[in-house]
Structures are given as C-alpha cells and as structure tokens.
Amino acid sequence: MNLQETVLIQLRDLILRGEFEPGQRLAEQQLAERLGASRTPVRAALVTLEQEGLVEANDTGKYLVRQFTPREVADAIAVRGHLEGMAARLVAEHGVSRQLQAELQACLDEGDLALAANPLSYESYAAYAVVNDRFHALVLAASGNRALQRAVALNDKLPFAPASAMLPMQGTVTLDRDWMLYAHRQHHMLFAALKAGEGARAQALAIEHTEVAQMNMRMALERRAETERVLPAIRLVVGR
C-alpha cells in the first residue's frame, strides 16, 4: 500500500474533523510522529493538500491550515457532480471502447476487493481512493472535452472537491461503511449505463454520486460539532 496515500487520507480526515485550527502551522516532524510515518510521505501529502486548497504555504514555506466554510465545500462538490455528469453523458454517447471497458472493470474489481474488509482501515480507504480516482479520471479523459477537463482541474483546487477527498473516513462506523459500499455500487451502475449508451442515465448517476460526498460532509460536521460541545465539559470535569 502506498504510504503517502494513507498519510494523505489521515491528514484530510484530521482537517475535516477540526483537529487543527485555521491558520495553525502543520509541522512535518510533529505530523510524522503523530501518524507513525516518516517525514517524506508527510511532506508529499502536504503538497497535495495545498493543491486541493486545504493548506497554504506562508512566505517561509511553512504549511498552514486554510480556513473554509461548509458552504464552500458543498458548492465545490455540487459543481464537480455536474461537470462529471456531463463527462459521463459524453462518454455514453461516444461509445465505450474495449480498452476503456477493461480499465473501468479493473477499477471496479479492485474496488470490490478494497471494500471487502470489515471494518475498513485507513489502508483500505487508501487502496480504494487510488482506484476511485482512477475510475473518475478515466471517465473524464474519455469525454474528449478539454474545456470540461480544465474546469474539473480548476474545481479540484477547492477544499474537499476532488473525487476521493470526501470519502467517509470512520470505517468502524457501520453507517459510513454502508455509504462507501453504496458509492461503489453507483460506480457499477454508472459503468453499466456507459456500456449501454444511456447518456441521460449516466449523467444522472454521476450527479447523484456526489451526494455521498455531501452526506459525509454533513456527518463529519455533526460529529465535529458534538466533539466541540463535549470537550469543554470534559475539561471542566477534569479540572475539578
């Protein structure tokens, strides 16, 4: 398993759960110790997070957590859904080549394998994130629309907009695992629509697919709010 991908997923999850304050510096050594990794995958993950708009580098090259709002995330996910919906419709209308069918089927097979674990670990998520990104990239590339591809690339620079950025992260929670399995079933349904040349259905499935990301964001924010309510009470009790 790619350690960099695992570290990236863990850092995204920590940021989403509010473990770091906006503007807080993310020190490589401290993060490496916290995640049980070396500084190399941490450094690579921070570069990716900067590209995704979750962190920003200051004048001295240090990474700071970027402030974002739930509305900003929701809007970016919604835009991605409509862009990918257009891509899926174009692919269905153009026809799916044998090579594309084989590549998409491989993604589905690898996804089935990654999600077979129960509960899901960070390694399971990392494995699924790789094939999830590949599945989305294959459909986008096959659309043949460069303007559409550039629009997706630009949108991916917004917080939690990329395809795998909002995968449910709490694998021990049954509801989260169910959402992951549902999202993967949508990939299977989308693949069937693409092969059948059903443009309208493929577009609708791609748009609906982003509801998993929206739902995960809502659940994450609810957990974050609950933690913020509980922690002051814990501190009060401990301080007595």
Assigned architecture for domain 70-220:
Up-down Bundle (1.20)
Q: CATH topology of 3-65 equal to that of 70-220?
A: no
Instruction: Read off the pLDDT band of 195 (50, 70, 90).
Output: very high
Strand duo 55-57 + 63-65: pairing: antiparallel
pLDDT, tens digit (0-9, with 9 covering 90-100), for 219-234: 777 776 665 554 444 3
Question: 228 exposed, middle or buried (CB, 10 Å; 0-12, 13-18, 19+)?
Answer: exposed
Closest CA to 152 of 166, 163, 142, 164: 163
Answer whether residue 218 shows pLDDT above 90.
no
Q: What is the pLDDT of residues 80-108, one digit of tens each?
A: 999 999 999 999 999 999 999 999 999 99
Q: Which two tokens stand for residue 33?
A: 């110790």
Q: How far apart are CA 187 and CA 179, in angstroms?
A: 13
Domain boundaries, the chain: 3-65, 70-220
Output the pTM of the full model: 0.84
137-167 pLDDT, tens per residue? Answer: 999 999 999 999 999 999 999 988 998 887 7
Which residues have C-beta within 8 Å of that of residue 172, sequence separation ≥ 6? 119
Q: Specify the CATH number for 3-65; select among 2.40.50.140, 3.40.50.300, 1.10.150.530, 1.10.10.10.
A: 1.10.10.10
According to the model, what pLDDT value does residue 233 have? 43
